[in-house]
Amino acid sequence: MEIFAENIKKFREKCKISQEELARRTGISQAAISLYEKGDITPKIAIADKLANALGVTIEQLLKGGAADDA
């Protein structure tokens, strides 16, 4: 899940939002988002879906990367 962790941060930074803003958009705590980005914990599918929606990508893009990588 290392790629997933890296992609959360990468897509968040491409959106030019902080962890705090992503937390507000998703209802997930900033602390949890930090742990997801570090790869310390892996979110359940419902949380991954919230993250993907807030970042404007698909869950598949978070898991593997994809077209939005080039944006």
Predicted model pTM: 0.86
Kindly state the DSSP code that residue 40 receives in the 8-state scheme.
S
Handedness of CA 16, 40, 47, 33 (dihedral sign): negative
Write down all domains in the chain, each with its CATH number in brackets. 2-62 (1.10.260.40)
> How far is Cα 4 from Cα 64, in angstroms, rounded to an integer?
7
Which among 63, 70, 71, 62 has a CA at the least distance from the CA of 22? 62
The residue behind tokens 């705090």 is 20
Q: What is the pLDDT of residues 6-43, one digit of tens each?
A: 999 999 999 999 999 999 999 999 999 999 999 999 99
| Predicted pLDDT at 70 | 46
